[in-house]
Amino acid sequence: MNQTTLQFKTLLLLLVLVTIAFIWILLPFYGAVFWAVILGIIFAPMQRRLQQRLGWNRNLLSLTTLMVCLVIAILPVIITSALLVQEGATLYKNIESGKLDVAGYIEQFKHFLPPYFQHLLDRFGMGNLEGLREKIVKSAMQGSQFFATQAFSFGQGTFDFLVSFFIMLYLLFFLLRDGPELVRKVRTAVPLAEPQKRRLQLKFNRVVRATVKGNVLVAVTQGALGGLIFWFLDIPSALLWAVLMAFLSLLPAVGAGLVWGPVAAYFLLSGSIWQGVVLGLFGVFVIGLVDNVLRPILVGKDTKMPDYLILISTLGGLSVFGLNGFVIGPLVAALFMSSWALFVESKPRVKLPLP
């Protein structure tokens, strides 16, 4: 082994060790760093357009873009989260005091079912009404108690939240200002051919923008429409159900129907025909239409991934990374597909001799 090879391997080992150490010290604030990068990618095109029109210096331009991002992307999330905590606390108190009789609703639903379906519930061990009521009430209490306790835990973690929040804003400012230069340095360091690096970068940017903008827009639209129809039909905790529908709509092929569907069925079975019909028609032709029309345009068109792969990668990302996983999951899947496609294309063709 010559001296040059030894020095290169030593440098490579040092690079691996310091990279692992750097990632390790960033782990406590990985969410802040992650969303700073994501928001930087999303708002970079807007900043370029502002630069072309206004011609301001980089600092003022980045600060302006940061303020726009804060108003249209960050503050609505914070306000909605605060209202959601309050709504969850109210729901918990109503269930605990008996004002909201979940067990009574379950008992009514059981009696409204035809005898055949009641027999099926008995066969699958769900005919024990008391046991079923206890399980559902316990689950409802735990879920609502979670939202109620967030008010206290949020107060305990206010300092950590503020630190992460300002780290994200601080990094986002410099990523908006120095983003193109940082991208050029990263591309120079990656040991791939220039067309391959360009292809991976384009795929990365497209998936991030399509996943965040597309999925979030679809989720917000479906959640808002669902909350609106729940409020119109005087269903308790409409904001809580709206947020739940928005969250479930992040999952393609699953969607907000898991919330409004059972409620519409309950209305129909309990004799509230017009409420059930209105909710069912609104869910199918309005909420469902948003998913069927907007999602292929905003998500599938840019990611160029099948729905089943988006669904599996989103579920896997959510289970591993929490809420951040709805971006990380499809991103990893897209880079996986792109990397294998580059490998197959660059692999030398070996011609086998004919027999």
On the question of pLDDT at 136 being above 60, the answer is: no
State how far the alpha carbon of 201 is from the alpha carbons of 192, 206, 210, 334, in Å: 12, 9, 14, 11
Q: What is the mean pLDDT of residues 278-297?
A: 80
The residue segments making up the domain with residue 54 are 29-177
The residue from 154, 177, 200 where one domain ends is 177
pLDDT at 228: 92
Domain count, the chain: 2
Choice among 54-63, 195-204, 291-300, 327-336 with the minimum mean pLDDT: 291-300
Give the separation between CA 126 and CA 259, rounded to whole angstroms: 21
**Is 41 a domain residue?**
yes
Distance CA 27, CA 18 (A): 14
Same domain, 207 and 160: no
- Is the domain of 205 the same as that of 335? yes
Which ranges of the chain does DSSP label H, i.e. alpha helix? 3-26, 30-54, 58-69, 75-97, 102-112, 115-123, 129-156, 158-189, 194-209, 216-232, 238-248, 257-269, 273-282, 288-295, 301-303, 307-321, 325-346
User: Mean pLDDT across the chain, nearest whole number?
Assistant: 76
Q: What percent of the chain has pLDDT over 70?
A: 72
Residue 19 lies in a domain: no
pLDDT at 116 over 50: yes
108, pLDDT greater than 70: no
Furthest CA-CA distance within the chain: 86
Q: What is the pTM of this model?
A: 0.71
Same-domain status, 276 and 241: yes
Q: Same structural domain for residues 166 and 238?
A: no
- In the prediction, which pLDDT does 151 show? 46
pLDDT higher than threshold 60 for residue 131: no
Q: Give the residue-averaged pLDDT of 120-142.
A: 56
Mean pLDDT of 237-255: 78
3-state DSSP call for residue 110? helix
Residues 141 and 263 in one domain: no
Which pLDDT score, from 0 to 100, does residue 217 have? 81
d(CA 316, CA 322): 9
Helix (H) or strand (E) holding 347: none
Q: What is the pLDDT of residue 156?
A: 46
At residue 235's C-alpha, the angle toward residues 215 and 295, to 5°, is 15
Residues 196 and 262 in one domain: yes
- Looking at residue 249, the DSSP 8-state letter turns out to be T
Q: Is 333 within a domain? A: yes
* Cβ(141)–Cβ(147) below 8 Å: no
Distance CA 100, CA 143 (A): 14
**Chain centre to alpha carbon of residue 38:** 12
Return the higher-pLDDT residue of 179 and 140.
179
pLDDT digits (tens, 9 = 90+) for 319-344: 888 777 877 888 888 778 877 877 77
Same domain (yes/no): 146, 281? no
Q: 259 by DSSP, 3-state: which?
A: helix
Instruction: Using the predicted structure, report yes or no on whether residue 290 has a pLDDT greater than 50.
Output: yes
Q: How many CA atoms lie within 13 A of 210 on its CB side?
A: 22
pLDDT score, position 114: 66
Confidence of residue 250 (pLDDT cuts 50, 70, 90): confident
136-145, 182-191, 300-309 — which is least confidently predicted?
Answer: 136-145
Question: First-to-last CA distance in the chain?
Answer: 43
Q: Which residue has the tokens 């009574």?
A: 104
Residue whose tokens read 């206010």: 158
Per the CB < 8 A criterion, the answer to whether 118 and 110 are in contact is: yes
Residues 200, 335, single domain; the answer is yes
Q: Does residue 182 belong to any structural domain of this protein? A: no
Using the 3D structure, point to which of 177, 203, 237 is the last residue of a domain.
177
pLDDT for the residue 154: 47
In a domain, 15, yes or no: no
Per-residue confidence (pLDDT) for residue 109, from 0 to 100: 63
Q: Is 198 found in the same domain as 342?
A: yes
User: Quick one: tokens of 17?
Assistant: 């060790």
Residue 211 clears pLDDT 80, i.e. is over it: no
- In this prediction, residue 104 has a pLDDT band, given cuts at 50, 70 and 90, of low
**Residue 152: what pLDDT?**
46
**Among 177, 210, 229, residue at a domain's last position:** 177
The verdict on 120 and 235 lying in the same domain is no
For residue 355, the model assigns a pLDDT of 52
Question: Does residue 196 lie within any of the structural domains?
Answer: yes
Q: Are residues 36 and 161 in the same domain?
A: yes
> Does residue 196 share a domain with residue 336?
yes
Is 128 within the bounds of a domain?
A: yes
Contacts of 147 (CB under 8 A, 6+ apart): 84, 85, 87, 88, 89, 91, 92, 240
pLDDT given for residue 105 in this prediction: 61
Question: Considering the domain boundaries, does residue 244 fall inside one?
Answer: yes
Measured CA to CA, the distance from residue 60 to residue 12 in angstroms comes to 39
